[in-house]
Every structure is written in C-alpha cells, then in structure tokens.
Amino acid sequence: MNNLDSHYKPSNFSDKVALYFTKFLRFLADTFFKKRYGHRAVVLETVAAVPGMVAGMLIHLKSLRKMEDDKGWIKTLLDEAENERMHLMTFIHVAKPTFIERIVIMIAQFIFIITYAIIYLVSQRTAHRIVGYFEEEAVRSYTEYLQELETGKIKDQPAPEVAINYWNLPLHATLKDVVKVIRDDEAGHRDVNHSFANVIDERKTKETNNTKDKQITTKENLGGNN
Ligand SMILES: [Fe+2]
Ligand SMILES: [Fe+2]
C-alpha cells in the first residue's frame, strides 16, 4: 500500500523549479475547474498520459542510438502512459467534456508534448521530478474527490464497465471504488518518477566521482614520473 501523503522535499534548484511549475499548473486547474472533479479528471488525464509516452519514446531512441540497455525504464514509462489513458477512458463515462474543454485539451496536448519533450532533453531528472510532483497533486485531488463522494456532496454512481474490467473490481463497485484504485495508481507513478529522478542524480554523482578519481590517479602517476 502506498503512503498517500508522501511528499518529496525539494533538495536543489531543479527540484524547486519542478515544484513551483507544478504549483502554478495546480493553481490554473483549481481556477478553471473549481470542484467539478469529473471534468477536471477528464481534462487532466488527457495531459497525464503524455509524459510516459514522450519519455518512453526518447529513451527508446537513445537506447537505439547509443546501443545501450534501458534497464527496463521504457516498459515502465509506456505502462504508465497506458494506465493514465485508462483513467481517461474511465472518466469519459463519468463526465463528458464540454466544447470549451475539448478545445483546451487540444491546445494543452500540443503545448505539453513539445514542452515536456524539451524539458526531458534539457534535464531528464527535472522532467521526472515534475511528473513526481504532478502525481502528488493528482493524489491530493482524488482524495478531495473521494471526500465529496463519501459525504454525498457529489452523488456516487455505479462504476463504469471499462473500470470494472480493467481493475478487476466487483460488479457492484461504485465510483468511490474507482477513485480509490486510480488514486493508488497515481501514488505508484509518483514514487516511480521521484525514484527515477533520484537514480539519475546518483548516476551523475558516480560519474563525477569516477572522473575525480581518474584525475587524481593521473596526477599521482605524473607525480611519480617526475
Ligand atoms: Fe491519472
Ligand atoms: Fe497521474
């Protein structure tokens, strides 16, 4: 079971950029959707399914170019994209996007694919950290949605069939059950992306240490020759 409230404390400038970028987008989403959680889920899941596919594609191409093993990252990222797409396929049965939302989705997809690809190419660790923070916000939003359903402020309804089949839910499952499993998925993506950012950091630290060791050895060897 994931720790739902888990938060990665920013440890450097790149983390802070990722966090404030996420907070800014959260502010936009809160302003646009307010408490229309079904609509919020439809629009945001169309965006959420992008990073895994973009990152998976870029690592795939890098693996081909450099003839290097991907350590299983491509499959993990493509699975994330597929899982996020299933969130969308589920919520489309709960809330139908309005005309304005469809326009927002098209513009957002166009901008986000390009922006995320550029961020990924410039700083892979920042890109994963951003998704980690996006997912922290997703967990928070689904918790709020669940509270509205539990208190009856939003009427519960039978779970869509697509969700029952995808998550193997009981036939009498409701929207509350669906929101719970989706929230668990989001927590899983959060942990994976934060850990990917950490792994990239560790690799860089190792590389720097190896270079320093090599420089010291070279200096020692040169010193010995004098
Ligand atoms: Fe999602
Ligand atoms: Fe997500």
Which ligand sits nearest to residue 41's alpha carbon? 1
Residue 148 C-alpha to ligand 2 middle, in angstroms?
A: 20
On whether the CB atoms of residues 73 and 59 are closer than 8 A, the answer is yes
Residue 149 main-chain phi, psi, to 5 deg: -70, -40
Distance 226 CA to ligand 2 centre (A): 60
- pLDDT value at position 176? 98
CA of 61 to the centre of ligand 2 (A): 24
Count of C-beta atoms within a 10 Å radius of residue 219:
10
For residue range 126-141, what is the model confidence (pLDDT) as tens digits? 999 999 999 999 999 9
Over residues 34-70, the pLDDT tens digits come to: 889 999 999 999 999 999 999 999 999 999 999 999 9
Distance between Cα 34 and ligand 1 center (Å): 18
Across all residues in the chain, what is the average pLDDT?
94
Kindly identify the ligand whose nearest atom is closest to the C-alpha of 189. Answer: 2
* Structural tokens at position 220: 């020692």
pLDDT value, residue 216:
81
Q: What is the mean predicted confidence (pLDDT) over 27-35?
A: 92
pLDDT at 96 over 70: yes
Q: Domains of the chain by range and CATH?
A: 13-194 (1.20.1260.140)
CA 168–ligand 2 middle distance (angstroms):
20
Q: pTM of this prediction?
A: 0.90
What counts of helices (H) and strands (E) characterise the chain? Answer: 8, 0
pLDDT category at 226 given cuts 50, 70, 90 is: low
Measured from the alpha carbon of residue 192, the closest ligand is 2
Could you tell me the distance, in angstroms and rounded to a whole number, from the CA of residue 186 to the centre of ligand 2? 5
Record the tokens describing residue 221, joined without a space.
Answer: 């060897």
